[in-house]
Amino acid sequence: MNLKTSFDGLVLSNPLMPASGPLVGDAEKLIFMHDSDCGALVSKTISTKEPHIPRPCIYGDKEYVMNSELWSEHSKEVWVNEFLPQIKKHSDKPLIISVGYTKEDMEILIPLLDPFADAFEVSTHYVGTDLSVIKQTVQMIRSHTSKPFYMKISPHIPNPVLFAETVRNAGANGLVAINSLGPTMKIDVETRSIRYGNADGFAWTSGPAIKNLALATVYTIKQALHDFTVIGVGGVKSADDVIEFLLAGASGVQMLSGAMLKGKDLYAKIIKDLPIALAKYGFESVEEVMQTSLNKEVVYTPVLPELIVEKCTECMLCTKICPYFAIDFKEQITFNPDKCFGCGLCISKCPVKAIK
């Protein structure tokens, strides 16, 4: 199975990369990502100032993570003198260096890091939503490098397509979509306190809970700008998720929170699972997935669900959850055609796929 993907001159042996965050915060961790066989390496965001990070700063729930981390706690000098030479010695995989945030930061960081970078990704998480400011940042980066670079879009940017058009016209090669969602909040009832938050009491949410938003952002941008590279990130936790992002239009896919919730061996597992998942859906390569356009047929007439009797375990979940009170149990599960709205909830929730 051919897992290769390439964009803007970067060639990746497979589409999965780590997303910027604590798991790529120094040389040891990036070497772990190399050894896990990730298609490319992405660093923690490097900036010019020292971050003041509250502790604790990472909360893990079942389907999401919340964090109040900032950028790398290591200085640009430590990255340039220690980590980046070590990583380059160990790995010939494409290295995407994450940098942040302002035009003034870029004037310092891009020339300094350029000798080590195969590409840059640029966080815009803390710079507000003024596109004229972001445009100047992009122009500054382009004036200092000929390498590909990708602006990372945060969910609080109001118009992703306008953001994409602005950064493309100013010289960026693409986008990374999306950063974590927020501001969001975690309250500890026991102690009547906000334990996992910054000075304002807020944290950022990531992980499986934001996957649908990330997919929609990737898709929206790709529908508007077909030839603009988009790297998808947000909520990935399986090979199936990677395929979903590729179908939405991503050229590569990043993951962080999934590995913090399920274990760091998830990178290697997904890369191992990917050929099996592709074969299961009848794909012969990653490139074939990326070339597939999504079928978007919208039906407005309700269709009554059907029970696959031999699969049904009579768990009754569908009778409990039906929002239209249309499912009963009379010797077997029955659907009331007068009440059923054809909403589809029972089909998606049936644990044994006994409803079609």
Rounded (10°) CA dihedral 198, 182, 177, 140: -60
Judged by CB under 6 A, which of 4, 8, 13, 22 binds ligand FMN?
22
Query: Should residue 48 be labelled a site residue for ligand FMN when binding is judged by CB under 6 A?
Result: no
Longest CA–CA span in the chain (Å) reads 73
- Find all residues with CB under 8 Å of 250, minimum gap 6, and list them: 15, 218, 222, 230, 231, 232, 290
Query: Should residue 258 be labelled a site residue for ligand FMN when binding is judged by CB under 6 A?
Result: yes
Query: Should residue 255 be labelled a site residue for ligand FMN when binding is judged by CB under 6 A?
Result: yes
Helix axes 211-224, 160-170, angle to 10 degrees: 50
Judged by CB under 6 A, which of 5, 36, 137, 180 binds ligand FMN?
180
Q: Residues in contact with ligand FMN, total (CB under 6 A)? A: 27
Region binding ligand FMN by CB under 6 A among candidate stretches 75-83, 85-93, 250-258, 268-276: 250-258
What is the C-alpha to C-alpha distance for residues 317 and 312, in angstroms, rounded to an integer? 11
With beta carbons less than 8 A apart as the criterion, state whether 206 and 178 touch. Answer: no
Residue 177 has φ and ψ, to the nearest 5°, of -135, 115
Query: Should residue 44 be labelled a site residue for ligand FMN when binding is judged by CB under 6 A?
Result: yes
* Nearer Cβ to ligand FMN (175/326): 175
With beta carbons less than 8 A apart as the criterion, state whether 132 and 124 touch. Answer: no
Among 100, 2, 24, residue whose Cα is nearest residue 267:
24
CB of 125 to ligand FMN, least distance (A): 6
Query: Should residue 43 be labelled a site residue for ligand FMN when binding is judged by CB under 6 A?
Result: no
Per-residue binding letters, 109-148, with ligand FMN (x by CB under 6 A)? --------------x-------------------------
Q: Is the dihedral of CA 312, 243, 156, 266 positive or negative?
A: positive
Region binding ligand FMN by CB under 6 A among candidate stretches 14-22, 48-56, 158-166, 263-271: 14-22
Query: Should residue 172 be labelled a site residue for ligand FMN when binding is judged by CB under 6 A?
Result: no
Per-residue binding letters, 204-233, with ligand FMN (x by CB under 6 A)? --xx--x----------------------x
With beta carbons less than 8 A apart as the criterion, state whether 342 and 302 touch. Answer: yes
User: Which residues would be at the binding site for ligand FMN (CB under 6 A)?
Assistant: 19-22, 44-45, 58, 65, 67, 69, 71, 98, 123, 152, 179-180, 206-207, 210, 233-236, 255-258
